[in-house]
Amino acid sequence: MNMHSPTVTARAALYLRVSTARQAEHDISIPDQKRQGEAYCEQRGYQLVETYVEPGATATNDKRPEFQRMIEAGTSKPAPFDIVVVHSFSRFFRDHFEMEFYVRKLAKNGVKLVSITQEMGDDPMHQMMRQIMALFDEYQSKENAKHVLRAMNENARQGFWNGARPPIGYRIVAAEQRGSKTKKKLEIDPLHADTVRLIYRLFLEGDGTRGAMGVKAIATYLNERRFFTRDGGRWGLAQIHAILTRTTYIGEHRFNTRSHKDREKKPESEVAIMAVPPLIERELYDAVQARLKSRNPMVTPARVSSGPTLLTGICFCAKCGGAMTLRTGQGSTGATYRYYTCSTKARQGKTGCKGRTIPMDKLDHLVADHSGDRLLQPKRLETVLASVIDRRQERAERRREHLAELHRRITEAEQRLGRLFDAIEAGMVDKDDAMAKERMASLKALRDQAAADAERTQLARQFRQSGRHSQYAQEVCPQSPRTDTTR
């Protein structure tokens, strides 16, 4: 490296990182890391050429913009710096596999990683010490996360709010002071609480002019009457559904329901229940859940016409507005005749309504022909066809994006496996190490699952394409020879 030349000053880059705003308030804040880094470079005669600042980013993965920018610069040829200076190795990475991979990647281009507080040499013993430190940093990170989550769960069980935005209908208030910490709770927000209650009432009872409403009807009702959301926006279906299903409104806020990293649902035993002031009575909430369940498409079959006639329920008398119902009669030859007749006339006679009686076949054909003429007009068909093509193109694009994402997962898993194999081959990791085996099995499972999903997606795509082009294939190759499988 250039740093060994007596006439050339080594060039250094600072990498500064904190995970949270709270950490930034303590002794490893960004300004403090920068001050110590600049002093370190000055003491050793390094020329500081670049500073990379990463506020509020975890070191357990490499999804950090400034980190990636630094790695890209450090692995380019020629590299703009010879040394990367960090406050401690934990600022660089808290995953010992990933850390060793990036240390080797930089070293391959002549760039060295040094720590202000953990000075290391280049001999094998110091390399082993750095790897042990990285392993301990990873363990400490996982332990810290476990303890923080345990404390937050307990905080929720005691009725205190852990942060983030509260559900609509509630607001955050200071509850008590414990040392330097202000414990907070939720209280009912009178500005929006009535809107939540209205949503529940509309879903079960309606607005007085019509019966119980669905989620979409409620959103339309609120938007038409200028009931705005908390942010002053329009209501959507997801917001209404979330309000109708959130247990917070009966006084039981659920905390720690999903994994922070992959958003997977956690077991019920890990969920912490936080007591809050109830906004809705439990009986009302239970009734809403029962109606939601009964309307679930997975439970309720699609509505179909079960009547014996084509126009049942949709044909009405032009005179009185009564429904046209089916009447039957028998002729002198014994044949059965079917008629549509006004239900008012059928019940009350001609004094009730003078509406007409029409043969069923005649009216059915008239309605069918008229509907066909209206619906199958060239311009309408052109519009419908264009809409269908657009939707098919959108679905095809989504499938392409899904397939690309699956291939990206496969590539990422294979790259991680490659790094692990490189580390084992270099003797940095024991192939019989339990953590290494677990990591290898996890990466292989991730790769294989993504590959299987990609294969299914590709086969489904080919099947659809073969179905569309089967007729074309028969026209082009009408007499394709069959393979003799008996030979």
Domain positions in the chain are 2-149, 170-294, 324-375, 378-468
pLDDT for the residue numbered 482? 39
Rounded Cα–Cα distance for residues 188 and 170 (Å):
4
Q: Give the burial string for 309-321 (b: 16+ CB within 10 Å, else e).
A: bbbeeebebeeee
pLDDT for the residue numbered 13? 94
Q: How long, in residues, is the chain? A: 487
**CA-based radius of gyration for the chain:** 35
Degrees (nearest 5) of the Cα angle 152, 157, 160? 70
Burial of 92 (0-12, 13-18, 19+ CB in 10 A): buried
Please state the CATH superfamily assignment of the domain spanning residues 170-294 in this structure.
Putative Large Serine Recombinase; Chain B, Domain 2 (3.90.1750.20)
Sheet holding 11-18, edge to edge: 47-55, 11-18, 83-86, 112-115
Question: How many CB atoms neighbour CB 420 within 10 A?
Answer: 20
- Please, are residues 78 and 49 in contact by the beta-carbon 8 Å criterion? no
pLDDT for the residue numbered 300? 46
- Three-state secondary-structure class, residue 69: helix
Helices 190-204 & 237-245, crossing angle to 10 degrees?
90
Query: What residues are labeled active site?
Result: 19
Q: Do 2-149 and 170-294 show the same overall fold?
A: no
pLDDT for the residue numbered 466? 61
Which pTM does this prediction carry? 0.46
User: Average pLDDT for consecutive 10-residue bins of the chain (487 residues)?
Assistant: 59 87 59 91 93 78 84 92 90 79 89 88 76 75 79 91 91 89 92 93 89 88 87 86 95 87 81 94 94 69 50 82 81 80 71 79 87 78 82 80 83 86 81 80 80 74 57 41 40
Who contacts 353 (Cβ-Cβ below 8 Å, separation ≥6)? Answer: 317, 319, 320, 322, 342, 344, 345
Give me the residue label for tokens 């939707």: 391
What CATH code would you report for 2-149?
3.40.50.1390
Rounded Cα–Cα distance for residues 204 and 184 (Å):
34
Task: Write down the number of H helices and E strands in the chain.
Answer: 14, 11
